[in-house]
Structure 1
Amino acid sequence: MSDIIQLLPDHVANQIAAGEVVQRPASVVKELLENAIDANATEIKLIVKDAGKTLVQVIDNGKGMSVTDARLSFERHATSKIKAAEDLFQLNTKGFRGEALASIAAIAHVELKTKQEQDDLGTVIVIEGSEVKSQEVSVTPTGTSVSVKHLFFNIPARRNFLKSDTVELRHITDEFHRVALAHPNIAFVFYHNGSDLFNVPQENYRQRVVHIFGTKTNEKLVPVEEETEVLKISGFVGKPEFSKKTKSEQYFFVNQRFIKSPYLNHAIKSAFEGLLKDSYHPSYFLNLTVDPKSIDINIHPTKTEIKFDDEHTLYAILRSAVKHSLGQFNIAPILDFEQQSSFNTPYIYKNKSASTPAIEVDRSFNPFEDDTSSKNGISKKTNYNSDFKSSPAASWESLYVGLESKGNNSESDFSEVTFESEAKTESIFSDSLIETTKTTFQLQQKYIVSTLKSGMLVIDQNRAHQRILYENFLKHITIQEATSQQLLFPLQLHYTPNETKIIKDLKANLEHTGFVFSKLDTKEITITGVPVGVPESEVSIILEQLISDVENDVPDSNFSASDLLAKSMAKSLAIKNGQSLNSTEQEHMVNSLFACKEPNVSPTNRPTFITMAVDDIEKKFM
């Protein structure tokens, strides 16, 4: 029998490795930005076209590479970061496996320009599908520039799996946020299709967070500082009142590397216990510094998961540090046996002396005195406080005026006594009549139960209301005749540049539903009108839900912004499970549902009601 095992060609092996390293354009951005940071760059420029499908370019002013290093960097497992296997447990750099550039070059057109500071000329290398097309000497500034064009040009199936530009740009922005937040000492510029999305200079950590997430973020931050022998914590957590329904502002950095850790996330959430509303998540931007020997980074291809030696200790320290900060800044109640802040003298009373209380009494005041003196034109001067004014008391003899005419006939007095009202007697059949006319009732404040000729109807009130609102909003967007209610005071909202761009793209559709924008720029959004029936307090929740849906949903080729907007607004404004409805509201819900074009399913294609036939009910009693 002939041998069947053979070595794979290099270009095939590189394409297989690319499957682990490069899932989408954001993966290329991550690898190139980390290489620029490892090159000790102080200024990094990211240029993206068509959400990375056409071009991803990273330019840095780092130390550059020699001619030999530039060519060798595209070979598999070629790296300058580690020399031996033991170095994997003492890593202080980002990329160390030597697969990034080789994998990227296998599925794209790559152009590398690099020059070291001591050299007069640099090097330009052009590679297409792992094949080196040219390597020449060129005039180029100090540092490195890597251009990745036509991603997945030789793997059409992988390119077809890419999502829309909006979704892919969100992933690229997420990677940019993670790298920029981890390195506030580096200046970053991010361009997309010729317009700059971010331009952040070298600054401290608080300024970096505010630059990326908007100026309104500054008032939301609570500093967290703790240093022990095991762990050093620095960064910020968000105030509970600014918590979000999404986890978009949760960042852990271990030794300046972004990680995901559900276990440590639980520590933060337990520190906020009792301070957050249901289904809301806290915001945090925390840097953890630990001994590199106590962690293992190389357990996941994307290096976003880390294995710790002693997770329980880190959990306890992190939870205590966050809880202490919330108490220290009066966000949460704190018990301090040494000093009680409520006992302290306010600053405005610090240098004031205590005033002795005084009591003033008008000794000439007589409530039984007849005001004969006033009739005679004589007025008395009083020295009591003018705040206490009393009307002259009527003469006590006036209380008995009119009693003499009636004499001593007490019977006539009692004969004139009448009751104010008589007790009303209702019909004993009134309650039963009401029950017989009631055709619906609410079960567990979640389902509406009604009767049918063939049996029983059970409606999910949340899904049914979503369907009703969805068709209503879709109709308003289509005919562009929605009514709007003006706000007494304009509503000002603040979002990140990426979130503001999403609202700008949907502005026309939002206006068709009833929203009125007086200002819409990268720093602030001002709303002067909202759709009829939408409370002002729900506006920010609706827009946050809409942004989350646009970022996280997977739109296909038939994606409609109007459809997504109608679904998102219906989801936000629909009656929630647990809300009590009276009989009139229940009947209106049933009638409105069956007036819809598709009453059977919700906007997310889930059933809105079920029916139970009489035969099915009778079988239960057999």
Structure 2
Amino acid sequence: MSDIIKLLPDHVANQIAAGEVVQRPASVVKELLENSIDAGASQIKLLVKDAGRTLVQVIDNGKGMSTTDARLSFERHATSKINSADDLFALNTKGFRGEALASIAAVAHVELKTKTEGEEVGTQIEIEGSVIKSQEVCATLQGTSIAVKNLFFNIPARRNFLKSDSVELRHIIDEFQRVALAHESIAFMLYHNDSELFNLPIANKRQRIVGVFGPKTNEKLVPVTEETEIVDIDGFIVKPEFSKKTKGEQFFFVNDRFIKHPYLNHSVSAAFDGLLPDRARASYFIYLKVDPKSIDINIHPTKTEVKFEDEHAIYTLLRAAVKHSLGQFNIAPVLDFNRESNMDTPYSYKNKEAQVPKVDVDRSFNPFEQEQKVKTSSYSGTPHYEKKNAAGWENLYDGLDKRNSSNSFSHLQIENEPETESLFVEHESKGFKDLKETDSDSANTYQLHNKYIVSAIKSGMMLIDQQRAHQRVLYEEFLRNITVKESVSQQLLFPLRLNYSPAELAIFKDLKESLENTGFALSMPEDGVLEVSGIPASIQESEVSIVLEQLLSDVEQEVPDTGFSQTDVLAKSMAKSMAVKTGEKLDELSREHLVNKLFACTEPTMSPFLKKTFITLTVDELDRKFNA
């Protein structure tokens, strides 16, 4: 039998490794930024074109590389960070496995320019698909510049799996923010298609957070600090009233490395218990310092997951620190049964001598001035007094025995509250009339548990999920409005001013045209502010921020069962936010209108998220259940 096991060629092995390390342009950004930080750079510039498809370039002023190091940096498992297996458990650097540059070079065109301090000239290397095309000296500044062009040029299938430019840019911004938040002592700049998105100078942690998420963030932050033998905790939490329903502002850093840790996230959420609005999530920027020997960061290719030696102790300490901070800054209510707060001495009266109270007496006061003394009879020594206007009090009771209809409670009128308008306007549609009984004068639909609409049909009965049905109706309506560009908009007397981070505003800028086609009127008068002067006719002013927050979340997470276009994502998100919810009571007219509109849709059987909108039960099926 012939041998069947063979060694893979280097270029194939590099492409396989690239599948783990380089998943999208954002992966390249993360690896290159971390290499610049390890090189001791104090200023890092990131240039991106076409959301990373065409170019990802990182320029730093670090210590640079020699000619030999520049060549070896593209070999697999070539690293300066570790010499033995024991070094894996005492890491203080970002990269250490030596796979990043080799994996990137296997699936892209890479151009490297680098020069060390004291050298007159640097080194320039060009690589295409793991093949070195040229290596020569060049004139360049101290530090390193790596340009990654035409990502996945030799793997078309991987390139086709990339999302739209807006989605890929969002991932790049996320990686940039994570690295920038962890290293406030380094200046960062981000440019996309020659336009500046971020310019972050050297600052402290609070200034860096404000620089990333906008000036309005400063008033939302509450500091958290705790030092123990196990872990040092530093950072900020966001006040509960500013919490969001998205996961956007949840950051954990361990030894200046961004991580995802559901267990620690639960610790912070537990500290906020009872303080957050319904379905809102706690926002935080928590920096943890632990002994490198007590964690293992080599358990995931992207190094965003770590294993702590004593997770339970860190969980307890973190929850206690957050609770202490909430109480210290009067965010959480404090109950102290040992003293009464109203017994505390006001600050303005401290260190003052007590004054003896003085009593003023009106010696001319005579309570009997209004009474006249009456002569007493000869046989009685008890005095009698007669009051003036003695009958005055009796006048208060005049008329009680009269039946005055004007003052009777039998004619008491109570002002009624105005009736709320129907959810749907009255509109006739023929989409469902053929299925309904035509010889019944009673109601055609009924609501079950404020969730399902029951309707009789010729063959039996139909159960309609009101939320999914309304999602389908709104989804097709928004798609039609965006495509035809004809929508009804109601202008606001006082425009709404909503605060968002630069990254979130970039998403709205990209969606601006589609949002305007649905009825929104948007503008961005200043940094960090989105002004809404018009909204769709089917939405209330109080729901605008909820709809836009849901839209941000769906765009960032690409919506479950994501669509094929930006329009589809927008229509799905708005339909999900604005549809009637389970538990809402609908009157008969609203139910009839919803049923008619549903069966006028092009695809009434499924919601936009591919869930059934209704089921039918025939009379035969009901008979079998009774006769079983």
What TM-score comes out, normalization by structure 1 length? 0.85
Partner of 2:72: 72
Question: 230-239 or 558-567: which moved more?
Answer: 558-567
Q: Given the alignment of the two structures, is residue 495 of structure 1 paired with residue 528 of structure 2, yes or no? A: no
Deviations 1:510-541 (A, max 9, x none): 22322223544542111222222422221111
Partner of 2:143: 143
Q: Given the alignment of the two structures, is residue 568 of structure 1 paired with residue 573 of structure 2, yes or no? A: yes
- 8 Å CA contact retained: 2:187, 2:202: yes
- 8 Å CA contact retained: 1:187, 1:200: yes
Distance in 2, matches of 1:220 and 1:420, equals: 54
Deviations 1:162-193 (A, max 9, x none): 12111111111111111001000100000111
- 8 Å CA contact retained: 1:328, 1:334: no
Partner of 2:226: 226
Distance in 1, matches of 2:394 and 2:89, equals: 104
Deviations 1:18-77 (A, max 9, x none): 111111111111111000000110000001111111111100000111111111111111
Q: Given the alignment of the two structures, is residue 25 of structure 1 paired with residue 30 of structure 2, yes or no? A: no
Distance in 2, matches of 1:357 and 1:78, equals: 93
Q: Given the alignment of the two structures, is residue 292 of structure 1 paired with residue 292 of structure 2, yes or no? A: yes
Partner of 1:189: 189
- 8 Å CA contact retained: 1:163, 1:556: no
Q: Given the alignment of the two structures, is residue 173 of structure 1 paired with residue 149 of structure 2, yes or no? A: no
Distance in 2, matches of 1:399 and 1:53, equals: 91
- 8 Å CA contact retained: 1:164, 1:556: no
Cα RMSD of the aligned pairs, angstroms, is 3.4
Distance in 2, matches of 1:342 and 1:55, equals: 66
Question: 55-64 or 351-360: which moved more?
Answer: 351-360
Following superposition, the deviation at residue 580 of structure 1 comes to 2.5
Partner of 2:424: none
Count of aligned pairs: 577
In structure 2, do the counterparts of structure 1 residues 170 and 340 end up closer, same or farther at CA, with 3 Å as the change threshold? Answer: farther
Q: Given the alignment of the two structures, is residue 596 of structure 1 paired with residue 606 of structure 2, yes or no? A: no
Following superposition, the deviation at residue 545 of structure 1 comes to 1.4
Distance in 1, matches of 2:390 and 2:529, equals: 65
Distance in 2, matches of 1:242 and 1:516, equals: 25
Partner of 1:531: 536
Q: Given the alignment of the two structures, is residue 606 of structure 1 paired with residue 603 of structure 2, yes or no? A: no
- 8 Å CA contact retained: 1:47, 1:58: yes
Partner of 1:474: 479
In structure 2, do the counterparts of structure 1 residues 466 and 366 end up closer, same or farther at CA, with 3 Å as the change threshold? Answer: farther
- 8 Å CA contact retained: 2:78, 2:99: yes
In structure 2, do the counterparts of structure 1 residues 111 and 340 end up closer, same or farther at CA, with 3 Å as the change threshold? Answer: farther
Partner of 2:554: 549
Distance in 1, matches of 2:560 and 2:454, equals: 36
Distance in 1, matches of 2:489 and 2:149, equals: 47
Question: 435-444 or 138-147: which moved more?
Answer: 435-444
Question: 16-25 or 482-491: which moved more?
Answer: 482-491
SS in 2 for 1:437: coil
In structure 2, do the counterparts of structure 1 residues 580 and 206 end up closer, same or farther at CA, with 3 Å as the change threshold? Answer: same
> Quick one: which of 529, 545, 556 aligns to 1:540?
545
In structure 2, do the counterparts of structure 1 residues 176 and 444 end up closer, same or farther at CA, with 3 Å as the change threshold? Answer: same
- 8 Å CA contact retained: 2:563, 2:569: no
Distance in 1, matches of 2:550 and 2:506, equals: 15
- 8 Å CA contact retained: 2:495, 2:532: yes
Q: Given the alignment of the two structures, is residue 462 of structure 1 paired with residue 467 of structure 2, yes or no? A: yes
- Give the residue type in structure 2 aligned to 1:254: V
Partner of 2:378: none
Matches within 5 A, 1:410-449: 437-449=442-454
In structure 2, do the counterparts of structure 1 residues 362 and 280 end up closer, same or farther at CA, with 3 Å as the change threshold? Answer: farther
In structure 2, do the counterparts of structure 1 residues 535 and 348 end up closer, same or farther at CA, with 3 Å as the change threshold? Answer: farther
SS in 2 for 1:162: coil
Distance in 1, matches of 2:272 and 2:117, equals: 50
Partner of 2:430: none
Distance in 2, matches of 1:216 and 1:589, equals: 42
In structure 2, do the counterparts of structure 1 residues 399 and 282 end up closer, same or farther at CA, with 3 Å as the change threshold? Answer: closer
- Give the residue type in structure 2 aligned to 1:578: G
- 8 Å CA contact retained: 1:236, 1:285: yes
- Give the residue type in structure 2 aligned to 1:52: G
Following superposition, the deviation at residue 560 of structure 1 comes to 3.9
Distance in 2, matches of 1:470 and 1:17, equals: 41
Q: Given the alignment of the two structures, is residue 509 of structure 1 paired with residue 517 of structure 2, yes or no? A: no
Q: Given the alignment of the two structures, is residue 620 of structure 1 paired with residue 617 of structure 2, yes or no? A: no
Partner of 1:118: 118
- Give the residue type in structure 2 aligned to 1:191: Y
In the alignment, structure 2 segments of 5+ residues that lack a partner are 372-388, 412-439
- 8 Å CA contact retained: 1:164, 1:555: no
Question: 546-555 or 21-30: which moved more?
Answer: 546-555
SS in 1 for 2:455: strand
SS in 2 for 1:31: helix
- Give the residue type in structure 2 aligned to 1:306: V
In structure 2, do the counterparts of structure 1 residues 573 and 153 end up closer, same or farther at CA, with 3 Å as the change threshold? Answer: same
Following superposition, the deviation at residue 152 of structure 1 comes to 1.3
Task: Determine what percentage of the aligned residue pairs are the same residue.
Answer: 66
Distance in 1, matches of 2:72 and 2:398, equals: 120
Q: Given the alignment of the two structures, is residue 238 of structure 1 paired with residue 238 of structure 2, yes or no? A: yes
Distance in 2, matches of 1:520 and 1:560, equals: 28
In structure 2, do the counterparts of structure 1 residues 363 and 39 end up closer, same or farther at CA, with 3 Å as the change threshold? Answer: farther
Partner of 2:421: none
SS in 1 for 2:280: coil
Q: Given the alignment of the two structures, is residue 98 of structure 1 paired with residue 103 of structure 2, yes or no? A: no
Distance in 1, matches of 2:194 and 2:60, equals: 18
Question: 329-338 or 278-287: which moved more?
Answer: 329-338
Following superposition, the deviation at residue 557 of structure 1 comes to 12
- Give the residue type in structure 2 aligned to 1:38: D
- Give the residue type in structure 1 aligned to 2:121: L
SS in 1 for 2:154: coil
- Give the residue type in structure 1 aligned to 2:462: L
Question: 558-567 or 158-167: which moved more?
Answer: 558-567
Distance in 2, matches of 1:178 and 1:393, equals: 87
Partner of 2:256: 256
Distance in 1, matches of 2:150 and 2:397, equals: 108
- 8 Å CA contact retained: 2:497, 2:530: yes
SS in 2 for 1:199: strand
In structure 2, do the counterparts of structure 1 residues 363 and 347 end up closer, same or farther at CA, with 3 Å as the change threshold? Answer: same
What TM-score comes out, normalization by structure 2 length? 0.84
Question: 44-53 or 236-245: which moved more?
Answer: 236-245
Question: 580-589 or 205-214: which moved more?
Answer: 580-589
- 8 Å CA contact retained: 1:166, 1:551: no
In the alignment, structure 1 segments of 5+ residues that lack a partner are 369-391, 403-409, 423-434
> Quick one: which of 432, 449, 455 aligns to 1:450?
455
Q: Given the alignment of the two structures, is residue 132 of structure 1 paired with residue 132 of structure 2, yes or no? A: yes
- 8 Å CA contact retained: 2:561, 2:609: no
